Amino acid sequence: MRILFYLLLNFLGLLILFNNFEYTAQAKAENEINYKLAVYKTIKESTQSQVKVSRVHSSTKSVDIREVVLEKYFENSPLSGTAHLFVEACDYYGAPRDCVTVAAIAKHETDLCRYYTSAQYYNCWGFGGPGIYRTRFNSFRESIFKVTDVLVNQYGNEYMIDPRKMEKVFCGPQDECIGWGSRIIYFMNQINNLSISMGYAPLYSLR
């Protein structure tokens, strides 16, 4: 009888030990899941806070203010409806986040593609050179991405922020290129000020 009593106590002890082990393993797993959820929530909130810097919320959807401002700047020009391409290319190649330089060059070179043949060539930047050397693109998407790619990867972001540093190369050594960079900055400022006049933050604040 005493032997059965001790066997029963040992069995109950093992059962309690097993239950404690199972509870500990379950608690550990739950803690691990909660930790991963907390990390994910932190990353998500951080990402959302960065996106909100350049977005404005309408009643139906979130809109990138860079696209809104550029679309306003392109009104009544052949570039109307292409603002999203400028922003896409800007983000894709890692250009300065204000996304104004490529648009400012287009304004200076061809008045936003209003000059003769520039819209037909989808080339608002005088890309390739004058006359027969002018590059003919197949679409605005192709040209916008190509120009952004060249500016970011062959010149660099510091040159996009201050185009005076690249005027002798991008524009050329000829006399008419003197002051080219300052004129580009003038149009960059024009776009930045348009953002302010529309009630948004300066686009330069996104850099």
Q: How confident is the model at residue 1 (pLDDT cuts 50, 70, 90)?
A: low
Q: Which of 13, 34, 53 is the last residue of a domain?
A: 53
Q: How confident is the model at residue 45 (pLDDT cuts 50, 70, 90)?
A: very low
Q: Which of 53, 73, 95 is the last residue of a domain?
A: 53
pLDDT tens, position by position, 12-30: 454 454 455 444 444 454 5
Q: Clarify whether residues 45 and 100 are in a common domain.
A: no
Residues 125/110, Cβ–Cβ less than 8 Å: yes
Q: Clarify whether residues 142 and 87 are in a common domain.
A: yes
Q: Clarify whether residues 81 and 141 are in a common domain.
A: yes
Average pLDDT, the chain: 82
Q: Clarify whether residues 128 and 33 are in a common domain.
A: no
Percent of the chain with pLDDT over 70: 71
Report pLDDT for 132: 84
Range of the domain at 109: 62-206
79 pLDDT higher than 90: yes
Q: Clarify whether residues 66 and 165 are in a common domain.
A: yes
Least confident piece of the model among 40-49, 82-91, 119-128, 137-146: 40-49
Q: Clarify whether residues 32 and 77 are in a common domain.
A: no
Question: Across 44-53, 54-63, 80-89, which has the greatest mean pLDDT?
Answer: 80-89
Q: Clarify whether residues 43 and 67 are in a common domain.
A: no
Q: Clarify whether residues 115 and 147 are in a common domain.
A: yes
164 pLDDT higher than 60: yes
What is the domain count for the chain?
A: 2
Q: Clarify whether residues 83 and 150 are in a common domain.
A: yes
Q: Clarify whether residues 66 and 114 are in a common domain.
A: yes
Q: How confident is the model at residue 202 (pLDDT cuts 50, 70, 90)?
A: very high
Q: Clarify whether residues 141 and 83 are in a common domain.
A: yes
Is the model more confident about 22 or about 127? 127
Q: Clarify whether residues 46 and 68 are in a common domain.
A: no
Q: How confident is the model at residue 57 (pLDDT cuts 50, 70, 90)?
A: low
177 pLDDT higher than 80: yes
Q: Average pLDDT in the 137-156 region?
A: 98
**CATH (domain of 200):** 1.10.530
